[in-house]
Structure 1
Amino acid sequence: MKAAPEAQKRLLDLAELDAGLDRLRHRRRTLPELAEIEELSKKVAQLATQAIGAETEAGDLARDQAKAESDVDAVRTRAERDQNRLDSGQVSSPKDLASLQSEIASLRRRQGDLEEVVLEIMERREAADAQVATLKSERDKVSGTLAAAEDRRDAALAEIDKDAAELQGKRASIAGIPADLLALYEKLREQSGVGAAMLHGGRCLGCRTTLSIADLNRIRAAAPDEVVRCEECRRILVRTAESGL
């Protein structure tokens, strides 16, 4: 393949811009905010799940408390009814009086036991409610940190996109590269990431290999418009005044 030396040198400008675009793509993929956002998102989801679990427990305890309080009310009502019967003098039989007094005593004990259950449930419910509040507060705090990280990510991506658009504009403005040479450059770039490199002081700056005397003699003998390749990495070697030929 042949191409004017000036056209070949333009490949170096193209390669420099493509290297810049590659760096921007790498920066986009490796923004520290991306890992931070992923970790924070997991934490928010975990806290949300824990909060739901705590809310479910608090709800169950609220229902248990309501039932226990209803049981207390039922026993209290029955005990009050029996006490009213006792106080009214409606029961005159000693046996019936003894039975009624025994039942009232039993109901009072039952009421006391149930009130202890209510107190225990209330304590557990208060602890569950406190846990819900703590988890929601922590979730909201982490969500705020997540939102800030997302803002930083968006700002960084906007800057990267701006820089990439500028480099793409410069890349599009490079003219004078023959279609076949450009096609070869793009093919090599797709294969190895870099399509063309400068021959500098007898060294390929693409693979950092110092060329052998035989390779340098071959390149030295090639016509200026001959497109030469590095025998090591197969990239296009662009000759300049600094090639050491």
Structure 2
Amino acid sequence: MTTAPAADQRRLLDVQELDTRLDQIAHKRRTLPELARLVELDSQVDDLHTALVTSRTAVGDLKRELTKAEADVEQVANRAARDQARLDSGQGSPKDLQALQHELVALGRRQSDLEEVELDVMERLEAHEKALAEVTSAHDSLASRRAAVVEERDAAFAALDTDAEKIRAERAVAVQGLDAALVALYEKLRAQLGGRGAGALRGARCESCRLELNPLDVEAIRKAPEDQVVRCEECGRILVRLPEQPRG
């Protein structure tokens, strides 16, 4: 049978109250609305990042395609310029000059086709660059919003941590000098029973589980030695008896 001074048992309620406040702070820390917002924002950032990478890749590919198209046009134009220069010089046999004329016509058609390809690539590149600018702007805006939420989260964390530090200091004072076996039992029950290891007996009700106890059990508890550590028959937690209030 566990025993502890009645005064220590009553002081245990102060420790429980402080532990409950610490648990509440820990719960708030885990359930800050900023955390849920960050999860949502991170999902959006991931989606936009994917779109950004895709858009950048498309723009890069089109720039390379445009460079090639421009080079193709330039190559044909240079060839046509050389042929025209030879034709204008009049050098060569009539057959050669006639062949140059035919080649210039073919080169003209080829250059026209290549310029259409170049124009098409330029138009597609322009559209993709516009889309990239929009995605980049959206991504940057979302990143700024996320940074702001991170600041809000960190500020909330700091405030909660400050409160928790103060309460832990109060708890250290509250638990100082308490019966070691009583504290050990309390800590064990707290770990097993959702953070509550002790509660007051008020009337016939256990303040831990909020249940009314059997009148016979209540009577036996009231008659137990003052230093006996009694447990709630319903929830198993330490049941702290408070001095009877005088009836008016």
Normalised by the shorter chain, which TM-score bucket?
A: over 0.9
Could you say which residue in structure 2 is the equivalent of 1:223? 225
Q: Which amino acid aligns with 2:137?
A: S
Q: Which amino acid aligns with 1:237?
A: L
Could you say which residue in structure 2 is the equivalent of 1:121? 121
Matches within 5 A, 1:162-173: 162-173=162-173
Question: Take 1:123 and 1:28, find their aligned partners in 2: how far apart are those partners?
Answer: 52
Could you say which residue in structure 2 is the equivalent of 1:132? 132
**Residues 153-178 of structure 1: CA deviation (Å, up to 9, x unaligned):** 11111111111111111111113421
Report the CA distance between 1:83 and its aligned residue. 2.1
Question: Take 1:226 and 1:85, find their aligned partners in 2: how far apart are those partners?
Answer: 119
Identity of aligned pairs, percent? Answer: 51
Question: Take 1:106 and 1:243, find their aligned partners in 2: how far apart are those partners?
Answer: 113
Residue 201 of structure 1 contacts residue 243 of structure 1 at CA under 8 Å; is this kept in 2?
no
Q: RMSD in angstroms over aligned alpha carbons?
A: 1.8
Q: Which amino acid aligns with 1:167?
A: I
Report the CA distance between 1:90 and its aligned residue. 2.5
Select between 113-122 and 49-58 the one with higher mean Cα deviation: 49-58
Question: Take 1:38 and 1:138, find their aligned partners in 2: how far apart are those partners?
Answer: 18
Q: How many residues align?
A: 243
Question: Take 1:51 and 1:204, find their aligned partners in 2: how far apart are those partners?
Answer: 60
Report the CA distance between 1:123 and its aligned residue. 0.9
Could you say which residue in structure 1 is the equivalent of 2:241? 239
Residue 203 of structure 1 contacts residue 209 of structure 1 at CA under 8 Å; is this kept in 2?
yes
Report the CA distance between 1:96 and its aligned residue. 4.1
Report the CA distance between 1:41 and its aligned residue. 2.5
Report the CA distance between 1:44 and its aligned residue. 2.4
Report the CA distance between 1:105 and its aligned residue. 1.1
Matched, 1:60 2:61: yes
Matches within 5 A, 1:123-162: 123-162=123-162
Report the CA distance between 1:150 and its aligned residue. 0.7
Question: Take 1:243 and 1:148, find their aligned partners in 2: how far apart are those partners?
Answer: 54
Report the CA distance between 1:16 and its aligned residue. 0.5
Could you say which residue in structure 2 is the equivalent of 1:199? 201
Tell me the secondary structure at the aligned position of residue 197 of structure 1.
strand
Runs of 4+ aligned structure 1 residues displaced above 6 Å come to none
Could you say which residue in structure 2 is the equivalent of 1:211? 213
Question: Take 1:199 and 1:243, find their aligned partners in 2: how far apart are those partners?
Answer: 12
Q: State TM-score, norm by structure 2.
A: 0.91
**Residues 77-96 of structure 1: CA deviation (Å, up to 9, x unaligned):** 22222222333332452x44
Question: Take 2:158 and 2:79, find their aligned partners in 1: how far apart are those partners?
Answer: 74
**Residues 49-104 of structure 1: CA deviation (Å, up to 9, x unaligned):** 322222222122111111111111111122222222333332452x4444332221
Question: Take 2:236 and 2:130, find their aligned partners in 1: how far apart are those partners?
Answer: 68
Tell me the secondary structure at the aligned position of residue 201 of structure 2.
strand
**Residues 11-61 of structure 1: CA deviation (Å, up to 9, x unaligned):** 111110010000001111111111222322333233233222222221221
Could you say which residue in structure 1 is the equivalent of 2:49? 48
Question: Take 2:86 and 2:153, find their aligned partners in 1: how far apart are those partners?
Answer: 77
Tell me the secondary structure at the aligned position of residue 233 of structure 1.
coil
Report the CA distance between 1:131 and its aligned residue. 2.1
**Residues 104-160 of structure 1: CA deviation (Å, up to 9, x unaligned):** 111101100000000001111112222222222111111111111110111111111
Question: Take 1:2 and 1:217, find their aligned partners in 2: how far apart are those partners?
Answer: 19
Matched, 1:14 2:23: no
Q: Which amino acid aligns with 1:90?
A: Q
Matched, 1:183 2:187: no
